[in-house]
Structure 1
Amino acid sequence: MTCWALLAVKPPHLGKSRLASVLSGAQRERLIRVMLARVLDALDAAEEIDQIAVVTPATELLPRGVIALDDPGGGLNHALGAGRRALIARGADEVLVLHADLPSLSASEIDSFVRQGRHTGLALAPDRHGHGTNAVFLAGDGDFSFRFGTSSFTRHMDEAAARAREATVINLPGFAMDIDEPADLQHFLGTEGSLLESALGTEGSLLESPLTPRSSTRWTPRPRNFSLLHAVEHG
């Protein structure tokens, strides 16, 4: 089985607008870059992920080895649907769709999510409030419409029912903790604040953060490596 990860990323200057009341534009951009790099790093280390693709017009954010997909327009759900079809056309048997703002996400959680999702061929990761959806795992090429947005977890469950598909609901801390609102930021600062303290400081502090890149990755010989430091410095 070939499992691809699929993300969608806005240009940093357009992202995280709901944090504008507590972060400057420069701080929001740095935060977006660091969180994306953290998610890519976790995907790189995950045993069950064979390749990564990102729908984005900001291709400069992507390190070497990550596939850039064109944004067809029409919003997030349309872009992800088109992205999934493109990956299936490239030979993907499974697609893991996830958000790029999951700073606690680990490789072991990604592997667990994919493995559990294979039992039914569809898995959902709710956010910590149980309202949103932070990841969807889909096996096969059957029809499924993404429903990200307000109350997306309920809407994804309804979509599964409409398609007569059994959805496995998987609660994992790294998938549950996204950062969209000031309250999310405050919650994360109270638990794992070193990442954000670095991101919200000076440009230099990003390079001094605990997110140090590995000297090599398992993808390097293929070649599919990427550097966390590269993502932070050049994103």
Structure 2
Amino acid sequence: MPPCLGYGWLRPVAILPVKNLKRAKSRLSTVMSGEGRKKLVLRLFLHAGCVCQTAGFQVFCLTSDKTVAETSLRMGWRVLQDRFNDLNKALTSVLKRFSTVPLTIVLPDLPLLNRQSLETVSRLGRRHGCVICPDLKLSGTNVLYLGTASFFKPMFGKHSFIRHLNQLQKSYPVKVLVTLATAVDIDSPEDLLLLPRFSFSSPVHYEESCYKH
């Protein structure tokens, strides 16, 4: 159980799921080495985690990977163990612990993610109860705010945006938010062509920035 339970929730919660690095970003294997993919995943994770932290979130990393977990702890973030190596099963298990508090699930492969975008998600979430941020293709779900996760069933993967929207609209007012900051993700070789245009900083810069907050 997360250590902060029982002490009150002083900050909003952000859960960042990260696959085991051995399996991460497999669709990039035709253009990147295994080591290159690992470095990319860690860089994107650090970027997302630090943006969440500077936006005032309590950061929880959900992972089965030792390196990711150690990195998270070094940054002062909490770790939730993924015992399933399956995002939806792991989230289903974890969300039971957070069923009564607002939380935001952030898939940490968003190079344009920024503080302002997360603050907008939180503001809309408090007003509407639920916010979904899809990817550019309106297929996947990149960011999801839940006022309560009590009845939510994670369905991440292909076409998760529509599946999540249909599920949640039955119980909650839902706001759909589409911005470049939350929609641009790195999943395919084509996405890598955009990376030189992005200005998110190196992990070292973000570590220093996070430690200052």
Counterpart pick for 2:118 among 110, 131, 138: 110
Q: Which residue of 1 aligns with 2:29?
A: 20
Alpha-carbon shift at residue 141 of structure 1 (Å) = 4.3
Matched, 1:68 2:79: yes
Structure 2 CA distance for partners of 1:67 and 1:19, relative to 1, 3 Å: same
Q: Which residue of 2 aligns with 1:229?
A: none
Once the two structures are superposed, what CA deviation does each residue of 1:197-219 show, in whole Å capped at 9, x if it has no partner?
x7xxxxxxx75xx657227433x
Output aligned runs, 1:131-146, within 5 Å.
Answer: 131-146=139-154
Counterpart pick for 2:181 among 160, 174, 185: 174
Structure 2 CA distance for partners of 1:87 and 1:64, relative to 1, 3 Å: farther
Partner secondary structure for residue 43 of structure 2: helix
For the 8 Å contact 2:16–2:49, the answer to whether it is kept is no
Output aligned runs, 1:34-73, within 5 Å.
Answer: 34-47=43-56, 49=57, 51-58=58-65, 59-62=69-72, 63-73=74-84
For the 8 Å contact 2:75–2:207, the answer to whether it is kept is no
**Larger Cα-atom Rg:** 1
Structure 2 CA distance for partners of 1:195 and 1:44, relative to 1, 3 Å: closer
Q: Which residue of 2 aligns with 1:153?
A: 161
Structure 2 CA distance for partners of 1:164 and 1:86, relative to 1, 3 Å: closer
**Cα distance in structure 2, aligned partners of 1:123 and 1:211:** 27
Partner secondary structure for residue 125 of structure 1: strand
**Cα distance in structure 1, aligned partners of 2:212 and 2:98:** 23
Q: Which residue of 2 aligns with 1:230?
A: none
Q: Which residue of 1 aligns with 2:94?
A: 83
Paired letter, 1:4: V
TM value normalised by structure 2: 0.85
Once the two structures are superposed, what CA deviation does each residue of 1:65-123 show, in whole Å capped at 9, x if it has no partner?
211112131721121122222234xxx62110010111111111111111112222111
Once the two structures are superposed, what CA deviation does each residue of 1:31-52 show, in whole Å capped at 9, x if it has no partner?
11111110111011103x2x11
**Cα distance in structure 1, aligned partners of 2:160 and 2:42:** 25
Structure 2 CA distance for partners of 1:215 and 1:74, relative to 1, 3 Å: closer
Counterpart pick for 1:164 among 155, 163, 171: 171
Counterpart pick for 2:134 among 108, 126, 131: 126
Unmatched runs of 5 consecutive residues or more in structure 2: 1-8
Identity %: 28
For the 8 Å contact 2:110–2:181, the answer to whether it is kept is yes
> How many residues end up aligned between the 2 structures?
200
